[in-house]
Structures are given as structure tokens and as C-alpha cells.
Amino acid sequence: MAQHRNPDWPLHVRNLTVSFGTRVIQHDLSFSIRRGSIFAIMGGSGCGKSTLLKAMVGLLRPASGTVMVDGEDYWAAGGARRAEIGRRFGVLFQSGALWSSMTVAQNVALPLQMFTKLSADAIAVLVALKLSFVGLAAAADKMPSELSGGMRKRAGLARALALDPGILFFDEPSAGLDPVTSQRLDELILEVSNGFGVTVVIVSHELPSLFAICDDGVFLDAEVKTAIAHGSPRALRDNCDIPAVRAFMDRGQLERMPAKEDNHGR
Amino acid sequence: MSPADLSPPDWRLDRNGTLAVLRLSGDWIACETGVRTADEARRILEDASATTVRLDASNLGRWDSALIAFVKMLRELSGEARAQAVQIDDAGLPEAARRLLALAVESGTAGTDEAMLHPSLATRVGEKYFDAWAQAVEVAALVGDTALRCAAAFARRTHTRAIDVFQIVCDAGAGALGIVAIVNGLIGAIMAFVGAVQLQRFGAGIYVANLVGIAVVREMAAIGTAIVMAGRTGGAYAAHLATMQGNEEVDALQVLGIRIFDFLVLPRIAALVTMMPLLYLYGCAVGLFGGFIVSLATLDLTPALFLEQLQGAVALKQFEIGLAKSVVFGALVALAGCHIGLKAGRSAADVGRAATAAVVAGIVGIIALDAVFAVCTNALGI
């Protein structure tokens, strides 16, 4: 949606440094994300992937550098303006982060009630649609505590889609899911991204799903605390010679073999 | 994202025998230009009165969920209560929109077998009865368990760690000194105020010392301290244990074979049972001091006279009753907090409910037990 309205690069990260107090997590990160692409933020555990994501979605003010959203400096904007920009984001948190005192349908409806002037009927229609995208139409009136881990993530995705965001952020979408459920979620991300033309940013170290869906990415290293490689996970796997990246991807190559056959079988 | 450069969604229906073409135009953006209602969709189908409705998107502007929702609605209505089902031909829609539609339809039908059941009144009453009975049994079992495990603890055969007990004692004891002093001091002062005004009328101002002494030592210090602790510590225990439950910390203990009761509940009971009497004595002292100050300020009394009167009024027996109460209240507050916390569900809302329930159970329990004490001491003549 809205491909013609904005330049083709909705998200730029420039010289970004994120830190907790004086402890620098990642420094001087620069990359751009193409509209409609599925962008991977890769790296080993504890290298600062999730922290970078927090700086991108507005949960952690970076120590220096900027995040440009649709050509606008996100962190330089005032509080109200920043919240407005942030409404173009949909974020799926690691464990779904559903509000536990509301039903699944109420979770999806809340952003619509707060930020649109739609009538209750219209909101109900949209909520039903979003839940049917993720296959949870039957679970609309359930409480989050009654859902399984995979269902919770899908409900979280439906909530992230509530306002028809331009950019979707996923924090470890496959963490804690079995391979089959995780693959279904990957397919869902692909469908949604293609269907709405949404730009997707995924933080993950799950190689099978990175290879399957991402077409661009950045590789963060915990030692030098910055990005050491740029490119799609597949490209990095096939032609990157940096030892740290090799070590990460080679482990994936082993896991990749049987998965390949499955892909042919589909 | 200004709505100004958007045109509202619109359509035109061209009828041609059994085929009707629905030409969509405008921008279909849910948050800006709204969502079409089921009535509008129904009207289109009625107007079309054709067997096939072909969608044409050649003039379509921008779109998002609003369009998908609209087409989905058309589809659902087309098959509904009609002599002849209407075919919706969506080949004219953008490829991406058709894929989303397919996604919505295909995953939407999966797993619709779980219907909500609305139980009858009899079922609900029955369930409530069994719940209440189960709860009574549970509380009885809990009290019994406590007695048994306490005995085991004295024989040093439990998983309770001294360091845990010490930490919890510090939190429950020293941490509460301030609030216990404020509450009891004010209670003593209020008693003296109210008493002085009434007793002065009969020229019996000196008996304020009796009033404050007996009321504070026998009842108010024990109840006031216990209620403060129910709100401060009982609620905290419930919230803490409920959160541990939610984080699977309790499960982790259980897997290691550590008795939840010994590790989590016993230290808390021990802490409150030992701290509550001490806090009670401290509360007595502050309460009597509050009464003393107010009495001196409002009545023509010398400090020595007041203290002498107080000494004559408050026998050691009164302290014994107060101490006994405070031990029982301490056990009650700790048990209620731990029991409710461990039984709580795993969500954030459940933690809040557990904390509320623990405080309510604690306060109501304290007052009810105090009534039991009053009846018993009366019957025993003490």
C-alpha cells in the first residue's frame, strides 16, 4: 500500500550508537531498509540485536545517531510527533505481549479504538479480518492465558497489524516455537508482507527462517560491537568470508540440508 | 498521512444480464476513509440481482484492510440465505489483495469447532457449591500442612534456608516500623481525644488512661498492626508468589524436588509469626505514647498521675491476650498471602487479583478472628 507516496527506502539508520549508561552495546550502525523488503538483524545471542530494535521502535533513546522514518528524524521529533510516527509501526514482541486482562479481540481492537474514529461495528469488522488473517477467528473471545505460545504470537501479529502499519518489527518471531509452527509463522509473515506491501524488520538468530524469508539484512558482532556484514542471509551464507559470519552461517548450513528437501516437496 | 489527498471509497454497478460488474474506485484506507458496513454490501448484492458479480479494480486508488474486509463481506453474504448463490469473481483485484483474501478465508475457517458453552443456572450454582467446598477443604489441608511442616522444621528436616527467613524477617519487621508507628500513634491519640471529651463531662478525665491503656493494649495495637501488615506484607507475598508462578519459578523449584511449602511458605509464616508480636509491642508503646501526649494536652493531668493510673489499669494479662492475638494474626496474614499467591493464575491480571484477594482475606480474617477472641476471653472470664 502507498508505494507511490514515499521514497523507496522508508527506514534509514545512520551512525546509530546504542548504550545502557556508559556501556556501549553497538556503535556506528548505518543501514537502509528498502520498502517491502524483509530485513534481518542477525547476530549471536547478547550482541545487541534486541537493543537495536528497541532504539528503532522508540523504546530506548540512542546515545547518538539517528533513525529516519519516511524521511523524518524519529528521535529528533517531539514526543507527540514521535508517537504519531510510531503508529506506522507494528511490533510483535518476543512472547506476544498480549494484554492479559483483555480478550484476544479486545487486544486487537484497542489500537483502533484509541487512534481511529471508526465506529464500533467497523472496528469489529476489522478485528475479525485481522484475526482471520492469522487463523484465530475462533479464538477471538479467549483470554491470552488460554492460548498456546504459537497462538499468542499469531494474536500478537494480528494486534501489530491492527492499524495497517507500514513497517512491522518482529523480535525473535520463532523463539519458543516448534519447527512446524515456526515455519507457518514465517509463511504468514511472507503473505502479510507481500499482501500489504509492508516492510518487515526481523530480529532473529533462527537460521532456517532467516534463509527462508529475508531478502536483506545486517550482521552485528558482539566483539567489535558494530555491524560487520550487510546483505541477505542467503548471500552472506554463500559468499561471505568474515570468520564470525562464517561460523554463524555454517552452523546453519548443517541445519539447512534437510529443510531444503521439504521446500522442494511443497 | 493527511486525509485531504485521499478520495473516499466508491463503486458503480453495471448490470448486464446475469453478470454484474462492480467498479471500485477511490482510496480504501481503513483508518482514514472508514470501513463499509454489512448493509452496504447486502444492498450491492440485491441491486446486482445477478448470478455473478465481477469486481473491477482498474480505477482503484490506495487500499488496505478496508478493501479486504469489504470483499470478504461480499463473499460471506453472497452465499447466505439466497435462493441462488451469487458468485463473486475477484480476478480483477490486485494480486496482493487476492492473496490476502485467500489467507483470510483459508485460515479463518480452521478450528471453528470450539463453541462457547453457556452453562445453565443449576450448573453454575452446583459449580459454585463444589468450588466453595473444595476451598474449605483446601484451607483445612493448608492449616494441617502448616502444623506438620512446622513440626518438621523444628526437627530440622525441611528445605527452609535461614538466609531466606532472615531476609523476609528484615522486610516484614524493620521495614514496617515507620508505618506501624504512625498508625498506632494516631489510634492512641484519637482514643484519648474522644475519651477525654466524654469523660470530662463526668469529671472522670483521669480514666482516659484506663480507656487508652486497655483499648490499645488489648485490641487496637494488635488489630491495627495486623491490618497494616495484611496490606503491606500479605499483599506483597501474594503478588510475589503469583509472579513466581507466572515465570515458572515455582515449577523450577518443584522439578528440583524442593517442597514449595518449605521453601516459600514456611519462611514467610515464620517471619510474620515472630515479627508480628514484636511489632505489636512496639505498636503498644507508640499508641500509649500518643494517648499520653494528647491526654496531657487536653486534660489537667500531670505525667506522673497519668502513668500511675495507666499502670493500675493495664494488667500483664492484657498484654498476653494482645500477644496471643498478634501471633495468630501473623500466621493468618502470611498463610492467606502465600496460599492465594500460589493458587493464582499466570497472567498480570491474575497477580493483581491475587494481591487484592490476599489483602481482603487478611483484613476480614483479622476482624473475624478478633471476634472469636472476644467471645473466648469473655467465656473464660479474662
Distance, CA of B207 to CA of B360 (rounded, Å)? 36
CA atoms within 13 A on the CB side of B163: 0
Laid out side by side, the sheet with A11-20 consists of: A23-33, A11-20, A64-69, A72-73
Q: Which residue of B has its CA nearest to A102?
A: B349
Distance, CA of B63 to CA of A158 (rounded, Å)? 18
- Residue B199 at interface with chain A, using a CB cutoff of 8 Å: no
Nearest to B191 by CA among B175, B176, B213: B213
- Residue A256 at interface with chain B, using a CB cutoff of 8 Å: no
> Do B103 and A164 count as a contact with CB atoms less than 8 A apart?
no
Q: Are strands A89-92 and A167-171 parallel, antiparallel or unpaired?
A: parallel
Chain A partners within 8 Å of B116 (Cβ): 141
Q: How many angstroms separate the most distant Cα atoms in chain A?
A: 56
- Residue B353 at interface with chain A, using a CB cutoff of 8 Å: no
Distance, CA of B142 to CA of B342 (rounded, Å)? 12
Assembly ipTM: 0.73
Q: What is the mean pLDDT of residues A223-234?
A: 87
- Residue A129 at interface with chain B, using a CB cutoff of 8 Å: yes
Tens of each residue's pLDDT in chain B, 382 residues: 445 577 888 888 888 777 888 888 888 888 777 788 888 888 888 887 777 888 888 888 888 888 888 888 888 887 765 556 778 888 888 888 888 888 887 655 444 444 446 778 898 999 999 999 998 898 888 888 888 888 888 877 777 788 888 889 998 989 899 999 999 999 999 999 999 999 989 988 889 999 999 999 999 999 999 999 999 999 999 999 999 988 888 888 888 778 888 889 989 999 999 999 999 999 999 999 999 999 999 988 899 999 999 999 888 999 999 999 999 999 999 999 999 999 888 888 889 999 999 999 999 999 999 999 999 999 998 7
Q: Which residue of A has its CA nearest to B5?
A: A5
pTM beyond 0.80, yes or no = no
Please calculate the CA angle B279-B285-B286 and round it to the nearest 5 degrees: 85
Distance, CA of B362 to CA of A159 (rounded, Å)? 39
Distance, CA of B86 to CA of B99 (rounded, Å)? 21
Identify any residues that bridge with A247 across adjacent strands, giving them in sequence order. Answer: none
What is the DSSP secondary-structure string of A48-103? SHHHHHHHHHTSS--SEEEEEETTEETTTS-HHHHHHHHTTEEEE-TT----TTS-
Sign for the CA dihedral angle at B292, B296, B299, B303 comes to positive
- Residue B34 at interface with chain A, using a CB cutoff of 8 Å: yes
> Do A145 and B103 count as a contact with CB atoms less than 8 A apart?
no
Name the residue facing A196 among B64, B113, B114 (closest C-beta).
B64
> Do B348 and A132 count as a contact with CB atoms less than 8 A apart?
no
Best of A98, A127, A132 to disrupt the B interface by mutation (most B CBs within 10 Å)? A132
